[in-house]
Structure 1
Amino acid sequence: MALPTLRFHRPVVTTARPLRAVIAAGVLVALGWSGVIYAANNSVQGAKKEEAGFDGDAPTAILTEASSGGVLFEKNADELRAPSSMMKLMTAEVVFHAVKQGDIKLTDEYRVSENAWRKGGAPAGGSTMFAALNSKISVDDLLHGAIIQSGNDACMVMAEAIAGNERAFAEMMTKRAREIGLSRSTFANSNGLPDPGNKMTVRELATLARYIIQTYPEFYKLFGEKEFTWNKIRQFNRNPLLNSLEGADGLKTGYTKEGGYGMVGSAVQNGVRLIVATNGLEDSEDRATEAKKMLEWGFRNFEVRTVFAANQTIGYAKVFGGDSRSVALSSHEPVNVMVQKNGNDKLIARIVYSGPVRAPFEAGQKVGTVKVWRGSNVAVETPVYATEAVGRGSTIRRAVDGATELAIGLFRAGAEKL
């Protein structure tokens, strides 16, 4: 397919504050398969968040493309709910991170306390890896038990060993969630057993799944293993997608009376990975059917298209105090977007940066991001960089730029008072 023909408009200032302005650069992209139109003064916030062509039954659901993080479908995706055992993804991430940082080793062995055995093991009657009281189990085996068998005891053993107690580990989970961009999730234990402090949205569950897939490929393989035997008890992976959908390789199911049935799943077909997250369904069959139906709909109706090639000029940023008035911006990687195969998508592209960009700076400096919306959803967000170095301008140029920014700031301040 030929690359799109591009015509660029001058940057449009949407908020004028001296040296701190948030500037949106408009880009009009004419494509043979669909139109990409930028409207600088239009906001997509608050728009109806439904995608035509899919009728989902889950109270909360989201379908995303893993490479870009773009949303293909969402329904009440920001509603906080009890995540149940899907929360074990966050427990696993904390342990993965600790191993990667060298704080713990997969060969380290942790003792099964009476608390973990009684409240999370066989006596509790919930999902368990059947860890024996006072036995020692390696981190590697505990991860297998937590991910494949959804063992509450496995999570508690790791939490107690790493943080001293489960409550302290839950605090680590919440802190770590903030570090990787989950701004709303909160955790009160390590396994998702009922507690008012356990809250996540399906959007953040999908974001967490994407982070695990991209950051820990060596560990992600655990989610696709179909069975695990411990204490001579063979158990099968609870993810129904592994046996019912081509390319499915993760991630986690969950259920509590408070949260209902939910799951986070992922599959790859034709080189494209999709991630689904649902919650609040009434039974396990609905959970499996809904997740599979959503993934199949995504694979059937969407394909990847390149909007901007790598290192192609996308737009321009205004420069302050430089020997050039503006600088071209590009992405280091191709900007790819999942679009509907029927070609009816309308895409909106916007470059957002804080500026004007103060000179001097080198080529390759990150300036902002290019965001591409498909309808009301952000389909992709990618950093943009200066394509060339800009040196310090003359004294006169810096003085003129300073006076201009001051005048804009005073004008804005006066307008805000009216």
Structure 2
Amino acid sequence: MQTMRLSALSIVVAIASGVVLPYSASFAASDHAAKPAAAKKQATTKPAAAPVAAQASTAGGPPALPAKAWLLMDFDSGEVLASDNPDEALPPASLTKMMTSFLVEQALRSGKLKKEDLVSVSEYAWCRGSSTESCMYLPLNSQATVIDILRGIIVQSGNDASKAIAEHMAGSEENFAKLMNAEAQRLGMTHTHFVNATGLPAPEHKSSARDLAILARAIIRDSADFYPIYAEREFKYNNIKQGNRNALLYTDPTVDGLKTGHTEEAGYCLVTSSKRNGMRLITVILNTSSAKARADETRSLLGWGFANFEQATPIQPNTAVTAAKVNFGKADTVPAVLGSPWTVTVPRGQKVQTAVQIKPGLEAPVTKGAVIGKVVASSNGKQVGETPLVAQADVERAGLMLRSWQRVTGLFGK
């Protein structure tokens, strides 16, 4: 027994003094693979981006809608609750202007633009007021402030406003379309390609119901300072007052955006958001038969969504979810807690199960608040959301002697 103790101590001293080379194959494996029995129950896959959820199943199913494509999304999680033909690339008409306005809003947030900056109206941008396009009616060779231009895009769906800001920000509408496509790619809009800032017909100008819901979610999430504009019912400029074409803004107080669209090729389109009892849903209707139909179909889809889904809180904030194993720290474990309050949207009456996944081979130092894993929620066998787990406390790295001893005990077992 005495001999074994002396041998172990000799190895520790040898490692500490550099006589024995650390991180041989066996030592490296023990750093990451040796875990106590309790920790083996935790999944060891690295946290990844949340996948797009499959369509949830509810009794009775969603309403039958005659639109060519439609989708219902939960805002908080981004989960698609129901859809039909969500990924077909279709003409988006003036729904395009959601990307135009989003780029303006982000430029305002970053300071690249200021609300009172003046935008010039070129002959190219100037709208002559034909019956084939919507206009803000900016006078030729005049100037308008960025915030007025933004309202003209969102409320009045002004093609002139969209072209003018495109030229102001990128030099030309063609260059602005490149910015639009770059942002679409960043957001994960995989079935979208923009040719212009307005949505006027062009063979390669396309988007999908899923992509437009992703964009709507980004606007609501990232443009909070400007999102109330999407609920404005009218805007007056150049002594011309025009109303918002989103009929639900006048009939449903829970609806607060977003955008209408129409061309002969695209049909009647509408992206809408509604918040009731703390839960926000996003709808997309593409290529339906009339302005009344897009409003009625949206109303029907929202009604079904709010009637059949509810929010659940799988884990309360500030609750220690698990004790995460930490290698080479002054403490062996650290409490893992939610990084922020967390809710998921599930079919009414269904229970939510959770599974904890901690990053494999977690090593000190660990900083309080650092992401060290995630919790995945599922309902009825389907994933419905996930959220990061963070360290509740700092864990300092152990000294050389203690780390060496931990390697030895990991090699021989405890």
The TM-score range, normalised by the shorter chain, is 0.7 to 0.9
What does residue 116 of structure 1 align with?
125
Is the Cα–Cα contact under 8 Å of residues 374 and 386 in structure 2 kept in the other structure?
A: yes
What does residue 23 of structure 2 align with?
none
Cα deviation 1:169-210 (Å, max 9, x = unaligned): 111122233444545533221111122443333223222222
Question: Which is worse superposed, 210-219 or 136-145?
Answer: 210-219
Q: Is 1:131 matched up with 2:168?
A: no
Cα displacement (A) at 1:136: 1.5
Q: Which amino acid aligns with 1:11?
A: Q
CA distance in 2, matches of 1:68, 1:49: 13
Question: Which is worse superposed, 361-370 or 56-65?
Answer: 56-65
Is the Cα–Cα contact under 8 Å of residues 60 and 279 in structure 1 kept in the other structure?
A: yes
Q: How many residues align?
A: 369
Q: Is 1:308 matched up with 2:315?
A: yes
Is the Cα–Cα contact under 8 Å of residues 121 and 153 in structure 1 kept in the other structure?
A: no
In the alignment, which of 369, 375, 382 is matched to residue 374 of structure 2? 369
In the alignment, which of 99, 106, 111 is matched to residue 115 of structure 2? 106
Cα deviation 1:311-360 (Å, max 9, x = unaligned): 2233455544445665442213332122333x1x2545344565322322
3-state SS in 1 of match to 2:46: strand
Which is strand-richer, 1 or 2? 1
Q: Is 1:357 matched up with 2:362?
A: yes
Cα displacement (A) at 1:94: 0.6
Is the Cα–Cα contact under 8 Å of residues 92 and 266 in structure 2 kept in the other structure?
A: yes
What does residue 219 of structure 2 align with?
212
Equivalent residues in 2 for 1:91-240, closer than 5 Å: 91-117=100-126, 120-123=127-130, 125-240=132-247
Q: 1:60 to 1:253 in 2, by over 3 A?
A: same
Q: 1:123 to 1:259 in 2, by over 3 A?
A: closer
Q: Is 1:385 matched up with 2:393?
A: no
- After TM superposition, the score normalised by the length of structure 1 is 0.78
In the alignment, which of 78, 82, 88 is matched to residue 69 of structure 1? 78
- After TM superposition, the score normalised by the length of structure 2 is 0.78
Cα displacement (A) at 1:133: 1.7
Question: Which is worse superposed, 91-100 or 104-113?
Answer: 104-113
Q: Which amino acid aligns with 2:372?
A: V
Question: Which is worse superposed, 352-361 or 208-217?
Answer: 352-361
3-state SS in 2 of match to 1:172: helix
- Greater C-alpha radius of gyration: 2
Is the Cα–Cα contact under 8 Å of residues 70 and 337 in structure 1 kept in the other structure?
A: no
Cα displacement (A) at 1:167: 1.0
3-state SS in 2 of match to 1:361: coil
What does residue 22 of structure 1 align with?
46
Cα displacement (A) at 1:308: 0.4
Question: Which is worse superposed, 313-322 or 133-142?
Answer: 313-322
Q: Which amino acid aligns with 1:54?
A: P
3-state SS in 1 of match to 2:343: strand
* Identity, % of aligned positions: 36
Q: 1:49 to 1:305 in 2, by over 3 A?
A: closer
Q: Is 1:330 matched up with 2:337?
A: yes
Cα deviation 1:378-399 (Å, max 9, x = unaligned): 5333221123333435224347
